[in-house]
Amino acid sequence: MQPLLYKKLDNNNVQCNICYNRCIIAPGKVSRCLSRKNVDGEMVLNTYAMASSIAVDPIEKKPLYQFHPGTKVFSVGGWGCNFQCKHCQNWHISQDMQENKGYCLPPEKMIELAIEHKCEGVCWTYNEPAIWLEYTIDSAKLAKEKGLYTAYVTNGFMTIEALDLIAPYLDVFRVDLKSFDDEFYREISGIKSGKGVFETARHAKELGMHIEAVTNIIPTKNDSEENLKNLAEWIAENLGKDTPWHVTRFFPNYKLDNIEPTPIETLKKAEELGKQAGLKYIYLGNIK
């Protein structure tokens, strides 16, 4: 399978331009997201069609509340991630690869299973789908041929050029807007800057995709009134006031197991700020 969006550099290095990390991978090394490797100066896909997780979910679980409600979506995750979030709920698949525990799921098989399970759509979720760009494009094309909808559940860090490649076959961009403050992305997600997330989300809107945004609010990290206000205003201005905003409760997990769950009052405050910004659909998540 031919890797996309990479170039060869001097000394047999290769550079990937699928996400804003724009990794330079030395010969013999695997990318930080685990999805590709440099073999003798050639970029090689490391995880194509290797699924870590498969499930049939209600679309609302993604969460997606305003796109084909009541339907079942065939949900697939791979291995690795371009972020290293300290609170990742799926760290066992996003920060590791255990080939012997996964499934071989070629695009044809994925779509066949989706139809067999009476799903109306497919989504790539559980880990970051963009690092699996080649696989998601191949399976999205087949999904569209069969009349299924397609959705990315994404951290939004893919480059605009990567989004443009899958855009003709992608209906939904369910994007995490983790924080308006770059320091959060550095400290919590391990990347240099989150600015690209906002650029790409805006581009998804320009491309006409259905967008729903999620902010998981972590006490002391991204729960300031200023940050939540900035996020709400940015969504209203750039994605539109009709864009659903899911503000979800954090629970201690992985490397952030020393922080208390988000107080419900904080979610309500975010809701109030969202309304002040003009957002029409704000949903409080993880509260039951």
Shortest approach of ligand SF4 to residue 128 CB, angstroms? Answer: 8
Q: How many residues bind ligand SF4 (CB under 6 A)?
A: 13
Q: Is 97 in the site for ligand SF4 (CB under 6 A)?
A: no
Q: CA 281, CA 277: separation in Å to the nearest integer?
A: 11
Kindly tell me which residue out of 3, 14, 35, 153 binds ligand SF4, with binding defined by CB under 6 A: 35
Contact window for ligand SF4 (CB under 6 A) among 32-40, 178-186, 214-222, 232-240? 32-40
The residues pairing with 285 across neighbouring beta strands, listed in sequence order, are 248
Decide: helix, strand or coil at residue 240: coil
Q: Is 137 in the site for ligand SF4 (CB under 6 A)?
A: no
Q: Between 203 and 229, name the residue whose CB sits nearer to ligand SF4.
A: 203
Q: Between 31 and 127, name the residue whose CB sits nearer to ligand SF4.
A: 31
Cβ neighbours of residue 29 under 8 Å, at least 6 residues apart?
Answer: 37, 38
Element (H, E) at 54: strand 53-58
- The DSSP bridge pattern shows strands 103-104 and 50-51 to be antiparallel
Shortest approach of ligand SF4 to residue 136 CB, angstroms? Answer: 12
Q: Is 31 in the site for ligand SF4 (CB under 6 A)?
A: yes
Residues 3-22 that bind ligand SF4 (CB under 6 A): 16, 18-19, 21-22
- Token duo for residue 102: 């996964």
Kindly tell me which residue out of 45, 73, 131, 175 binds ligand SF4, with binding defined by CB under 6 A: 131
Q: Is 49 in the site for ligand SF4 (CB under 6 A)?
A: no
Q: Is 36 in the site for ligand SF4 (CB under 6 A)?
A: yes
- The DSSP bridge pattern shows strands 121-124 and 149-154 to be parallel
Q: Which residue has the tokens 């991204």?
A: 222
Shortest approach of ligand SF4 to residue 208 CB, angstroms? Answer: 24
Q: Is 32 in the site for ligand SF4 (CB under 6 A)?
A: yes
Bond preceding residue 63 cis, omega within 30 of 0: yes
User: How far apart, in Å, are the Cα atoms of 211 and each of 153, 238, 257?
Assistant: 10, 11, 30
Kindly tell me which residue out of 23, 49, 105, 282 binds ligand SF4, with binding defined by CB under 6 A: 23
The conformational region for residue 17 under phi > 0 = left, psi -120 to 50 = alpha, else beta, is alpha
User: How far apart, in Å, are the Cα atoms of 197 and each of 174, 175, 178?
Assistant: 12, 9, 9
Binding residues for ligand SF4, per CB under 6 A? 16, 18-19, 21-23, 31-33, 35-36, 82, 131
